[in-house]
Amino acid sequence: MTKMTQKHSKSSKITPFLSIFASFLTILAIFTLIGCSKSGASEKDQMMAYAKSNNITYTEDPSGILYQIITPGTGAKPSLSNTITVTYVGQLMNGNQFDAGTITYPLSSLITGWQKGLPLIGVGGEIKLLIPSTLGYGSAGAGSSIPGNAPLYFDVKLSAVK
């Protein structure tokens, strides 16, 4: 066999392998995209089902938050530079309450869903927020009571903005 035919023989063995490998990567990418889109849609479906079963007439924010303003409030609306005082209840989509209380924190230090939702009301206002996991605690969750990738429900009353 000449050197030229040896070279051609090796490359002809590699070419089918590369073709199969490229096909595998393409299929893997497609399944990854399908998986990602289904989990996002499923989360929104959970949020809409929760809203329906709890008689929440919601508006959808471009961020993905679903909200219902119960009382708009008459006082100042918070911005990220404000410290807020709120009374709230937090639940998972299965109805399990994971937290409740009255807190005072800078709005900028709270979850993104609150940062986007609370400026929609003023002091004295109340809002119901359905927050996708990406604007809540993400894939990490929070402690043992909020699993990763969990959409959240909050009923929040804004009592002070400083």
Q: What percent of the chain has pLDDT over 70?
A: 75
Nearest CA-CA partner of 127 in 113, 140, 108, 137: 113
On whether residue 95 sits in a domain, the answer given is yes
> HSE (CB half, 13 Å, CA atoms) of 61?
22
On whether residue 27 sits in a domain, the answer given is no
**CATH number of the domain that 142 lies in?**
3.10.50.40
Please give the angle made by the CA atoms of 85, 90 and 96, to the nearest 5 degrees.
Answer: 160
**Tokens (6 digits) for 143:** 């402690």
On whether residue 37 sits in a domain, the answer given is no
d(CA 156, CA 87): 6
pLDDT at 13: 59
On whether residue 94 sits in a domain, the answer given is yes
On whether residue 38 sits in a domain, the answer given is no
> HSE (CB half, 13 Å, CA atoms) of 159?
9
Q: What percent of the chain has pLDDT over 90?
A: 75
How far from 154 is each of 3, 38, 55, 101, 105, CA to CA, in Å?
Answer: 73, 24, 14, 11, 16
On whether residue 136 sits in a domain, the answer given is yes
pLDDT digits (tens, 9 = 90+) for 64-119: 999 999 999 999 999 999 999 999 999 999 999 999 999 999 999 999 999 999 99
pLDDT digits (tens, 9 = 90+) for 51-74: 999 999 999 999 999 999 999 999
Instruction: State pTM to two decimals.
Output: 0.76
> HSE (CB half, 13 Å, CA atoms) of 123?
10
On whether residue 143 sits in a domain, the answer given is yes
Segments forming the whole domain that contains residue 148: 52-161
The residues that bridge with 102 in the sheet, in sequence order, are 87
pLDDT at 134: 97
On whether residue 19 sits in a domain, the answer given is no
Q: What is the mean pLDDT of residues 119-138?
A: 98
Number of domains in the chain: 1
Confidence bin at 27 (pLDDT 50/70/90): low
How far from 119 is each of 50, 63, 69, 77, 83, CA to CA, in Å?
Answer: 23, 14, 11, 5, 12
